[in-house]
Structure 1
Amino acid sequence: MVRRFRGESHHKVDTKGRVSIPASFRRVLESGDPNWTEGLNPELVIVYGSDKRQYLECFTMEAIDDVERRIEKLPRGDKRRKALQRLYNTQSILTSVDETGRLVLSAKLRDKLDLAGMAFFAGNGDTFEIWKPETYDVEMDADLEADDDFDPEADASVYLDGEEGL
């Protein structure tokens, strides 16, 4: 059974950059790390990306392996492959959950998000994101502005079948 990241939560970030991961997210990280066994700390990859990216995207080891397999299918020298390699290999870090269920976010990652005090965790199925709470609220409101094909006031479930519910 493939486990998924679901839900949202706020967690305190201490002065050393330690932040607790939601317990349900830890179980997904464990199940998505082929090297994890009881007593070990699961590994994950945090993609921080360029300055334009205002969140950290966290992948299980299996999920990042899938991304890398997809990148490798592109021809060497292809600009899309180079951009994807830069994002997922260069602008990322391999880390692990500590023995108390926390991540240690380096000063570089905290500074990138202007993260101090609280972090917002958002489950996205095969990944989860870490945001500065205020940035998340602004970005999500902007993403959901009305356009010709999307009604932000509608129950989002109407889009499940690709229908607009109109």
Structure 2
Amino acid sequence: MDAKGRVSIPAKFRRVFESCDPDWEPGKRPQLVIVFGTRDWKYLQLFTMEAMDEIDRGISAMKRGSAERNLLENIYHGHAEETEIDGDGRLVLPQKLREKIGLTDSAFFISAGDSLKVWAPDNYEEEERRLEELVPDFEPGADPLSLLTSGPQEEG
């Protein structure tokens, strides 16, 4: 990360943001949404425009005034900022968001399905240790995909 708060988005992720921005075309800057979440989030979550549209549709389908809808509106509308990737493949992270997650000189990116999470490296190491505690003990050589409860079935 440079002094202006710009981080380079890896090229493979930039292609995803481009392909999932319905208004993007060569020469334009791909749009995305940074969700900075609740007080306890130690990461920023970068959503493609298509992913945010899907989230918005889901929230709109919820009962108005429900606690669940209010929570999701607060997180994904109130704690979010629309932005773009510049022509050099960089994203400017506002200072208040960098401070929120303790980002100083480098950032760690991890794919999270239809989004990309940005962590301060130390915070991510702490989170990874926490997640390891949640993983059940496996027999040596066990496949972690066995945790999936459903998915493609092998035909026999």
State the TM-score, normalizing by the size of structure 1: 0.84
Q: State the Cα distance separating 1:135 from its structure 2 match.
A: 0.7
- Which amino acid letter does the alignment assign opposite residue 125 of structure 1? G
C-alpha separation in 1, matches of 2:112 and 2:102: 22
1:49-68 matched pairs, under 5 angstroms: 49-68=37-56
Cα distance change on mapping 1:155 and 1:134 into 2, 3 Å: farther
Name the count of aligned residue pairs: 149
1:151 aligns with 2:137: yes
5+ residue gaps, structure 1, are 1-12
Question: Does structure 1 residue 33 correspond to structure 2 residue 21?
Answer: yes
1:130-145 equivalences under 5 Å are 130-145=118-133
Residues 28-83 of structure 1: CA distance to partner in whole angstroms, max 9, x if unpaired?
A: 00000000000000000000012200000110000000001001111111110010
Aligned-pair CA distance for 1:157: 2.5
Structure 2 residue runs of 5 or longer lacking an equivalent are: 151-156
- Bigger helix share: 2
* C-alpha RMSD of the superposition: 1.7
**1:72 match:** 60
Name the SS for the 2:99 alignment partner: helix
Residue aligning to 2:153: none
Secondary structure of the residue aligned to 1:122 is strand
- Residue identity opposite 2:47 in structure 1: F
Aligned counterpart for 2:93 among listed residues 105, 111, 114 = 105
